Structure 1
Amino acid sequence: MANQSMKKDFLLALALVVAGTILFSIMFGFPLQAPPQAGSGTRAQLKVGEIAPPIQAAGWVNGDPIQNQGLKGKVIVVDAWATWCWPCRQQAPHIVKTYQKFKDQNVAFIGLTSDGEDLLPEIRQWLKETDITWPNGYGAIDSLIAFKADTIPQVWVIGTDGRVVWNVDSESTESLEQGISRALGLAP
């Protein structure tokens, strides 16, 4: 009888450790790929000044931004997210507020998720729940790899010259809104 009680206690403790690990991962973001080498000092993501790769996805929800060169000459805000990512859900209201501020200017917002077509109902539900109305590409793993997305959520601002002008490393010196304004030539 004592053996069964100890076994139950062990299984309960193990379950709590696993649940705690999952909760920690959710709270602090899930890596999309292996982290950078120890001692590298920087994240692997696409850096400010680098040329942004082409944006590609298996399919699109809320429109296809690539059609008719709709992105040419615009500042582009790329938001990497996933349906299972709690930090992405927490960040969504800020991205929506930023979109509302800049939607009538020369700025295009694009969401990218590695979630595939099999999760299309969940993707649509997630977009509806977060009030995200701009184009979002699913099955965009090739683009996310090209952007060197090491974790999500992650955001990049691409200037009209096709170069990254703001990323999460920029947050320590300026907000996303300031980065977009600078890309538009509105900031000093």
Structure 2
Amino acid sequence: MQIPIGQIPEDGKACSFNKGEGWLAELLDGSEPVEFTMGDVQVACVLRKVHEAIYVEGSLATEVRGVCCRCLENARLRIQCEFRYIFLPEPDIHAEETELSREDLDCVYYREEIIDLDPVIYEQIMLQVPMKMLCRDDCRGLCGSCGANLNREDCACPPREGDERLAVLKKLKLKNS
């Protein structure tokens, strides 16, 4: 969603919009692999202009679908979060290094008098998605021997005694010192 800065009045502008299911694929255009799919993204935000700075406060909601990392079943995660950003005109940065302050980390830079909210929305979704999705918090996963889904059935495998790779250490005899 791109918003021309000239369309933001002094008293602010409220906007709400939906991004369809294919939005993420269009945004990334194959440049970054993601291990989930997403439903519609509902976004509501308020933009306020103070001199050249644009303050954006908003919220978003969506559902992320992926594969449970323990049992390989479908996993769903409902995401709802709030966000705040400050958009500033892109500075003239030369080749030298610039040290960022804590306040600089909340800033997003715009060029050509247009605020692009898509990268902000993408960033907020990625911050909410866990590294490893679970179908539920108490997922028991798959049996390491027979592959049975332990959420649906108990497997008949005998309990394992210790790690087989460490069996050699049982034969090790130490000299008394």
TM-score of the superposed pair, with normalisation by structure 1: 0.24
Instruction: Give TM-score, length-normalised by structure 2.
Output: 0.25
Query: Which structure has the larger Rg over C-alpha atoms?
Result: 2
Structure with bigger RCO (C-alpha 8 Å, 6+ apart) = 1
Point out the structure with the larger helix share: 1
